[in-house]
């Protein structure tokens, strides 16, 4: 088990270099339903190895009870929304008279592995697409139905359903080829200070993860667990809603959910978590 | 009438005679308290599950009176001694008169 040794070594190294931090991420392993073994602490991929010495899921930064909730689908409140999305999946909408199931059949088969590679390049459209964009493209082009609100409840639970069938698979978004330009833009945004507080994503989630910011335990801001069921608002939260909240907290005017800036940022942030397991829907506070 | 109401129960399929098993139940329900008002200032009528029971082979295990302060999707976890093989029957009673039922069989290990 070299993996565990590496983690122990990393922990020791962190303890020395970050002596002031007194709330290290918890060493623990996540197995969902006693079946799906999750990678929650791993080596960074080549594209981000200069930025992060280790890649840690937000799961390690949460309390014992919150971590336990995610380990069993019965206890994970996010799974209630997944069940609702299963009904949505089979519901015929739009002028074409189709449901998701009409083309894609069983979600567990057709959508397995999809979450892990998004955002990704869409050759036909000539753009980088998030999973939300793809869902809406499918609704508009194939179902002739109204698009869902980008960060709305119906969209969040559909993305949660699609994520849930990929749980345990490693996040593996492309950073090169046709997405390279967007990825660079996302990286730029990640390190750009915004708002009256003049904070970039990196100031908290790269420089200070593991430390406390008042009562909050700063994580690396990984998005492998999205959509996230948050105990504070008792619903699923999408990636762009979280980005918006974070940028707002720097006291800046934020980009809009679904905007090209947030799509680029999502691609870059997702790539920072390459190698972590897809966890969505995860449970956080 | 509450939408999307779905009862769920997690109970072991097998138990030793006399063993105390853990049972988890959850029902998706909005549990509208009757204390909130809508955008126009009208009271949103109360719509909650007001009673939950669990029986084992006809014998009452728990009988819970539920009040409006209980949050959305009420969750109960409790231990029950299983003296013999049989069926757990779970019943939720809605304000609107609906009754939701679920049954789980437990065999002797």
Our measurement of the distance from residue A26's CA atom to the centroid of its chain's CA atoms, rounded to an integer in Å, reads 20
List CB contacts (< 8 A) between A84 and chain B: 4
- B14 interfaces chain A, CB cutoff of 8 Å: no
Close Cβ partners of A153 (under 8 Å, ≥ 6 residues apart): A81, A235, A236
- Test the A interface: residue of B7, B22, B23, B28 with most A CBs within 10 Å: B28
- Convert the pLDDT of each residue in B18-68 to its tens digit: 999 999 999 999 999 999 999 999 999 999 999 999 999 999 999 999 999
Please list the residues that pair with B6 across neighbouring strands.
Answer: B28
Residues 6+ apart with CB under 8 A from B43: B34, B35, B36, B37
C-alpha B85/C-alpha B17 separation (Å) is 8
Find, in chain B, the residue whose alpha carbon is nearest to that of A79: B28
Which has the closest alpha carbon to A235: A164, A165, A167, A283?
A: A283
Question: Cβ separation of B73 and A84 shorter than 8 Å?
Answer: no
The tens-digit pLDDT sequence of chain A (285 residues) is 445 555 555 444 444 444 444 567 888 889 998 889 999 999 999 989 899 999 999 999 999 999 999 999 999 999 999 999 999 999 999 999 999 999 999 999 999 999 999 999 999 999 999 999 999 999 999 999 999 999 999 999 999 999 999 999 999 999 999 999 999 999 999 999 999 999 999 999 999 999 998 888 999 999 999 999 999 998 999 999 999 999 999 999 999 999 999 999 999 999 999 999 999 899 999
Pairing of strands A127-129, A120-122: antiparallel
A122 Cα distance to chain centroid: 20
Question: What does residue A272 show for φ and ψ, rounded to 5 degrees?
Answer: -65, -20
pTM of the model: 0.85
Kind and range of the H or E run holding A135? helix A131-141
- Which residue of A72, A80, A234 to mutate against B (max B Cβ within 10 Å)? A80
Instruction: Mutate one of A75, A233, A283 to test the B interface: name it (highest B CB count within 10 A).
Output: A75
CB contact under 8 A, B10 and A74: yes
Instruction: Find the mean pLDDT for residues B78-98.
Output: 94
- Quick one: which H or E segment has residue A122? strand A120-122
pLDDT value of residue B109: 81
Put simply, the answer to whether B26 touches A74 (Cβ < 8 Å) is yes
In this complex, the residue of A74, A77, A84 whose CB is nearest that of residue B4 is: A84
Interface check B70 vs A, CB under 8 A? no
Q: In this complex, which of A75, A83, A234 lies closest to B6 when CB atoms are compared?
A: A83
Q: Is the dihedral of CA B79, B20, B53, B28 positive or negative?
A: positive
SS3 letters across chain B:
CCCCCEEEEECCCEECCCEEEEEEEEEECCCECCCCECCCCCECCCECEEEEEEEECCEEEEEEECCCCCCCCCEEEEEEEECCCEEEEEEEEECCCCEEEEEEEEEEC
pLDDT of residue B1: 52
Q: Which pair of tokens denotes residue A60?
A: 């390690």
Residue A83 with chain B: CB contacts under 8 Å: 6, 28
Q: Contact at 8 Å (CB) between B8 and B26?
A: yes
Q: Do A77 and B73 touch (CB under 8 A)?
A: yes
What is the rounded CA–CA span in Å between residue A73 and residue B24? Answer: 12
pLDDT at A16: 43
Tell me, yes or no, if A246 is annotated catalytic: yes
CA torsion angle for B6, B12, B14, B18 (degrees, to 10)?
Answer: -110
Average pLDDT, chain B: 92
Dihedrals phi, psi of B26, to nearest 5 degrees: -150, 140
Q: How wide is the angle at C-alpha B49 spanned by C-alphas B10 and B14, nearest 5°?
A: 15
A74 contacts in B (CB within 8 Å)? 8, 10, 24, 26
pLDDT, mean of residues B93-107: 94
Residue A101 near residue A90, CB atoms below 8 Å: yes
Amino acid A6: pLDDT: 53
CB contact under 8 A, A234 and B26: no
Dihedral class, residue A150 (left if φ above 0, else alpha if ψ from -120 to 50, else beta): alpha
For residue A218, give how far its alpha carbon lies from the nearest alpha carbon of chain B (Å): 29
Q: What values do phi and psi take at A22, rounded to 5?
A: -125, 20
DSSP state of A59: G
Rg of chain B over CA atoms, in angstroms?
16
Angstrom distances, CA of residue A15 to CA of A18, A123, A284, B20: 5, 46, 24, 43
Integer angstrom CA distances of residue A236 from A54, A231, B8, B11, B99: 27, 9, 20, 27, 28
Inter-chain CB proximity B73 and A83 less than 8 Å:
no
Q: How far is CA B67 from CA A108, A258, B6, B27, B43, in A?
A: 38, 41, 19, 15, 18
Please tell me which residue of chain A has the smallest CA distance to B11: A74
């Amino acid at each position: 088990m070299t993996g565990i040794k590496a983690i122990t070594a990393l922990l020791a190294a962190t303890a020395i270099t970050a002596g002031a931090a007194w709330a290290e991420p918890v060493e623990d392993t996540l197995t969902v339903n006693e079946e799906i073994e999750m990678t929650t602490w791993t080596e960074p991929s080549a594209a981000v190895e200069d930025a992060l010495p280790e890649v840690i899921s937000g799961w390690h930064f949460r309390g014992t009870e919150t971590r336990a909730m995610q380990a069993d689908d019965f206890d994970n409140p996010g799974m209630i929304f997944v069940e609702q999305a299963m009904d949505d999946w089979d519901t015929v909408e739009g002028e074409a008279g189709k449901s998701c199931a009409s083309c894609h059949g069983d979600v567990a088969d057709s959508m397995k592995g999809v979450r892990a590679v998004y955002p990704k390049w869409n050759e036909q459209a000539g753009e980088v697409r998030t999973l939300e964009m793809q869902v809406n493209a499918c609704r508009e082009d194939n179902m002739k139905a109204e698009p869902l609100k980008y960060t709305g409840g119906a969209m969040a639970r559909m993305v949660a359903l699609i994520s849930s069938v990929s749980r345990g698979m490693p996040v593996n978004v492309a950073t090169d080829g046709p997405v390279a330009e967007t990825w660079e833009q996302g990286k730029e945004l990640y390190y750009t200070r915004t708002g009256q507080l003049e904070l970039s994503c990196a100031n908290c989630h790269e420089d200070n993860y593991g430390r406390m910011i008042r009562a909050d335990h700063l994580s690396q801001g990984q998005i492998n667990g999205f959509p996230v069921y948050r105990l504070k608002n008792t619903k699923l939260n999408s990636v762009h809603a979280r980005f918006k909240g974070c940028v707002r907290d720097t006291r800046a005017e934020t980009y809009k959910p679904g905007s090209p800036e947030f799509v680029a940022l999502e691609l870059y942030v997702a790539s920072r978590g390459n190698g972590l397991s897809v966890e969505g829907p995860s449970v956080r506070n | 009438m509450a939408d999307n109401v779905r009862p769920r129960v997690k109970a072991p399929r097998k138990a030793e005679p006399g063993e105390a098993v853990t049972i988890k139940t959850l029902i998706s329900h909005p549990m509208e308290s009757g204390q909130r008002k809508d955008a126009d200032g009208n009271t949103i009528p109360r719509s909650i599950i007001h009673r939950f029971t669990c029986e084992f082979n006809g014998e009452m295990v728990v009988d819970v009176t539920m009040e409006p302060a209980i949050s959305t999707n009420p969750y109960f976890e409790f231990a029950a001694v299983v003296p013999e093989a049989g069926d757990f029957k779970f019943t939720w009673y809605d304000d609107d008169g609906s009754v939701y039922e679920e049954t789980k069989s437990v065999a002797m290990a």
